[in-house]
Amino acid sequence: MVKIAVIDYDMGNLHSACKGLAIAGGKPLITNRPGDLDQAEALVLPGDGAFDPAMQHLRSLGLVEPIQAAIASGKPFLGICLGLQLLFEASAEGREPGLGILPGQIRRFRSEPTLTIPHMGWNQLTLTQPDHPLWRGIKPGAWVYFVHSYYAEPTDPTIIAATTTHGSQTVTAAICQGNLMAMQYHPEKSAPAGLTMLANFVNLARPSR
C-alpha cells in the first residue's frame, strides 16, 4: 500500500481525509514530524480555517521547509481546501506569506446581490486539463462539495486543472502541475466522484515496479 503522510498542523478534521485515502487504497499516517514526510511515498495537506493561523502553525512546527523540499523532490503531493490556498504567495484573508510554491494570490469572492459567502455545498466542475490522470473515470460536470470564501488566482492560468462557478464568478477549483495537485473542494466529502479522484492520486503515488 502507498504510504501517505497526512500533515497535521491543527487546522481541520484529518480523519475524514484519512478515511477517504484508506478507502482509495492508501495507507495514511497523520503526522507533524518532518522525518515522516521524508519517508512517505506521497503527502497530503488538508485544512479548514484561516490562512494566517495555518501558516503560523506550519512554521512553528518546522514544516514549511520539509513541505517545500518534498514537492521540489517530485514526491506526489495533494492539497485539499485550505491546503490548496497555502501553496500560494499570499492571501487577501491575512498578512502571513504562504508557502510560495506557486506564484499567485488568494482572493475573496466579490460581493453580488444574491451571492452567499462562503460558497458552501455541491457544485459542478469544468475540467480544464481533461486528460490529467487525476480525472480518470471523472465525467465532465462532476459534482463536488465546496466550503470556502476565498479562491486561488494563479499567475500562470495553465496550472488550473478545473474551475467552478459561484454567482457570476468563475474560479479555480483544482490545480495540477507535475507532481503537485490540489483541490479547493473536499474530495473526501464528494461521494463517488471524490473517492475516484483520491484513488487516482493514490495510483499516481504508487512506486513503479
* Encoded amino acid at 81, one letter: C
What does the domain layout of the chain look like in residue ranges? 2-205
Q: What percent of the chain has pLDDT over 90?
A: 93
Rounded to whole angstroms, the Cα distance separating 199 from 23 reads 8
pLDDT beyond 70 at 4: yes
pLDDT of residue 7: 97
Task: Indicate the pTM of the whole model.
Answer: 0.96
Is 188 one of the catalytic residues?
A: yes
pLDDT beyond 90 at 199: yes
Q: What percent of the chain has pLDDT over 70?
A: 99
Task: Convert the pLDDT of each residue in 122-137 to its tens digit.
Answer: 999 999 999 999 999 9
Q: Which of the residues 81, 148, 166, 176 is marked catalytic?
A: 81
pLDDT beyond 60 at 61: yes
Is 81 one of the catalytic residues?
A: yes
- The three-state DSSP-derived secondary structure of 35-74 is HHHHHCCEEEECCCCCHHHHHHHHHHCCCHHHHHHHHHCC
pLDDT of residue 74: 96
Exposure b/e, 162-175, CB count within 10 A at least 16 = b = bbbebbeeebbbbb
pLDDT of residue 150: 98
Residue 100: which pLDDT band, with cuts at 50, 70 and 90?
very high
With CA atoms as reference, report the closest residue to 82 among 115, 113, 110, 106: 106
pLDDT of residue 98: 98
* Encoded amino acid at 45, one letter: L
pLDDT of residue 13: 77
Q: Kindly state the DSSP code that residue 113 receives in the 8-state scheme.
A: T
Mean pLDDT computed over 90-114: 96
pLDDT of residue 1: 86
Q: Within a 10 A sphere around the Cβ of 157, how many other Cβ atoms?
A: 11
pLDDT beyond 60 at 209: no
Q: Which of the residues 119, 148, 166, 186 is marked catalytic?
A: 186
CATH architecture of the domain with residue range 2-205: 3-Layer(aba) Sandwich (3.40)
Task: Convert the pLDDT of each residue in 6-51 to its tens digit.
Answer: 999 988 778 889 999 999 999 999 999 999 999 999 999 999 999 9
Is 186 one of the catalytic residues?
A: yes
pLDDT beyond 60 at 174: yes
Rounded to whole angstroms, the Cα distance separating 176 from 48 reads 20
pLDDT of residue 159: 98
Mean pLDDT computed over 180-200: 96
SS3 22: helix
